[in-house]
Amino acid sequence: MDPSSAGAGGSSLPSPSCPDAEKRRVCYFYDPEVGNYYYGQGHPMKPHRVRMTHALLAHYGLLTQMQVLRPHPARDRDLTRFHSDDYVAFLRSVTPETQLDQIRSLRRFNVGEDCPVFDGLYSYCQTYAGASVGGAVKLNHGGHDIAINWSGGLHHAKKSEASGFCYVNDIVLAILELLKINERVLYVDIDIHHGDGVEEAFYTTNRVMTVSFHKFGEYFPGTGDIRDIGYSEGKYYCLNVPLDDGVDDDSYQSIFKPIMSKVMEMFRPGAVVLQCGADSLSGDRLGCFNLSSNGHAECVKYMRSFNVPLLLLGGGGYTIRNVARCWCYETGVALGQELKGKMPYNEYYEYFGPEYSLHVPQSNMENKNTGKQLEDIKCKILENLSKLQHAPSVQFQERTPETALPETDEDQEDPDERHGPDSDMVLGDLEPLEQSARRSVIQRTEFTDTQTKDQVLYHHGNGATTEQRGQGTTAEGIDSSQQDPKLRESISDRLFSNSRCELLSENSLSIGQVYVSEFIEEEN
């Protein structure tokens, strides 16, 4: 890839998938090692799907239309800005060979059957978490409008517990980074499973709104009732849209667009994080929805249309040929490119037979969501939104990130001294100056008024219980409107140091080193 053209963005011509003709500056995070991690035989979670997605992006010619970045792994101190020290230490130390000596810790941290110990587990967590926060750093700098990390979106992980194939909650870490300069951040989750880990982290704050569209009732994780609306300052800033089996494109959009339109009008976020879990697609190994790839991507297109900085993340998705097709198509939507349905030949071509098409169609499964049910849900959600004040006021001075673009020649510096293992030095993002000078500016718009054994094993439908809310795992410190302004500025200064992301060459298509901060208790 020619570095001078990196990050130039798509042509964004009006197309059926993306009628909005505004150009977008897109960066994309990928580590070529991510596809090597293996949860184990028979496990439905397969990181290999990210490598398949990347291959499709290359053969569709999309990599040359965005800045491709190799992420730096997050360090211990980065992960412990949300996760507990002992949990991170356990993830770092446990191996398949030593796990039998740590039975109590395995139980304590919920690591085992669904979230197994495998070779390179901690490196995997560092990779996908660092990529998500690196994307947030890029958005904070304002040099990009959309950042993509398909290896991220692991929304079930808790402060001190693995859950639902998720170990580290990269989404929470990325949102914390975005909160550094944005008063409000919106999180939207279109995975078939409820985004419980993210909701729990921000359940008591009005600076993050979480909106989850998910299957509810006898289904993992068992949370996400429409009556769960947040607590204390976060009341009504948590929205749950519970859906039933077989929801199709038309039904989904009939509720997604009205709700998100009202959310954007009332909340007015400075940035949006969209978790694009592909297990809501028709035919997913563990899913029971009936969305086509076009219907799924319609959510991406709609959120893109608001011209707010957008972080696109992966998530669930267990029929991997469909996952790769979906995320490739949605990358095209982000770039404003209409991709041909006939798939180009690629190294995974045989996975996509016999149709060899980019698009995942709907099936003829029954839609158990009636029009009345959907209307009732929509009305309830809109009623909750009506109880919000427009754009909650937070005494927060917008500031530029501490990460400064390098002005000196780094080749003249000692790389070990520049970034030693214990260094807190601020590192700048490296990108071509010519590219930066050519970037266009986006003007923000105003907002207007088949059950298998694996399924049984991993659904956790029976016995799932709603978790206690607001007890110890929420990001309590970010809701700080009553604090002294000088204290808030000090906290903002410390919320995050910054990251450096390496521009990938075309031949080494493979996380920003991120320092997210401890919560506000540190200041007290």
Averaged pLDDT, 416-444: 34
pLDDT one-digit tens code per residue, 113-141? 999 999 999 999 999 999 999 999 999 99
Tell whether the torsion through CA atoms of 161, 167, 173 and 174 is positive or negative.
negative
Q: What is the pLDDT of residue 11?
A: 38
Averaged pLDDT, 408-424: 36
- Comparing 160 with 464, which gets the higher pLDDT? 160
Angle, CA 369 vertex, CA 304 and CA 247 arms, to 5°: 45
Nearest to 236 by CA among 61, 385, 94: 385
Q: What CATH number belongs to 26-387?
A: 3.40.800.20
Averaged pLDDT, 219-231: 98
Q: Where are the chain's structural domains? A: 26-387
Q: What is the mean pLDDT of the chain?
A: 80
Q: What is the pLDDT of residue 394?
A: 55
Averaged pLDDT, 338-355: 96
Q: What is the pLDDT of residue 20?
A: 63
pLDDT one-digit tens code per residue, 268-299? 999 999 999 999 999 999 999 999 999 999 99
Averaged pLDDT, 411-426: 35
Task: Tell me the Ramachandran region of residue 268: left when phi exceeds 0, alpha when psi lies from -120 to 50, beta otherwise.
Answer: left
Cα 331 to Cα 328: distance, rounded to the nearest angstrom: 5
In this predicted structure, the answer to whether residue 512 has a pLDDT above a threshold of 90 is no
Buried b (16+ CB within 10 A) or exposed e, 49-67: bbbbbbbbbbbbebbebbb
- What pairs with residue 405 in β-bridges? none
Amino acid at 192: I
Nearest to 511 by CA among 143, 140, 134: 134
pLDDT one-digit tens code per residue, 194-224? 999 999 999 999 999 999 999 999 999 999 9
**Could you give the 3-state DSSP secondary structure of residue 100?**
helix
Q: What is the pLDDT of residue 393?
A: 56
| Percentage, residues of the chain above pLDDT 90 | 70
Nearest to 513 by CA among 436, 406, 423: 423
Annotate 111-148 with three-state secondary structure. Answer: CCCCCCCCCCHHHHHHHHHHHHHHHHHHHHHCCCCEEE
**Could you give the 3-state DSSP secondary structure of residue 171?**
helix
- What pairs with residue 215 in β-bridges? 243
In this predicted structure, the answer to whether residue 401 has a pLDDT above a threshold of 60 is no
pLDDT one-digit tens code per residue, 152-198? 999 999 999 999 999 999 999 999 999 999 999 999 999 999 999 99
Annotate 236-248 with three-state secondary structure. Answer: CCEEEEEECCCCC
pLDDT one-digit tens code per residue, 286-335? 999 999 999 999 999 999 999 999 999 999 999 999 999 999 999 999 99
What band does 23 get if pLDDT is binned at 50, 70 and 90?
Answer: confident
Averaged pLDDT, 14-37: 80
> What DSSP designation does 242 have?
E
What band does 506 get if pLDDT is binned at 50, 70 and 90?
Answer: very low
Q: What is the pLDDT of residue 516?
A: 30
Q: What is the pLDDT of residue 408?
A: 33
pTM of the model: 0.77
In this predicted structure, the answer to whether residue 337 has a pLDDT above a threshold of 60 is yes
Averaged pLDDT, 2-20: 43
Averaged pLDDT, 234-252: 98
In this predicted structure, the answer to whether residue 19 has a pLDDT above a threshold of 80 is no
Whether the CB-CB separation of 358 and 327 falls below 8 Å is answered with: no
Q: What is the pLDDT of residue 289?
A: 98
Catalytically active residues are 156
Cα 40 to Cα 51: distance, rounded to the nearest angstrom: 17
- What pairs with residue 312 in β-bridges? 148, 274
Averaged pLDDT, 470-490: 39
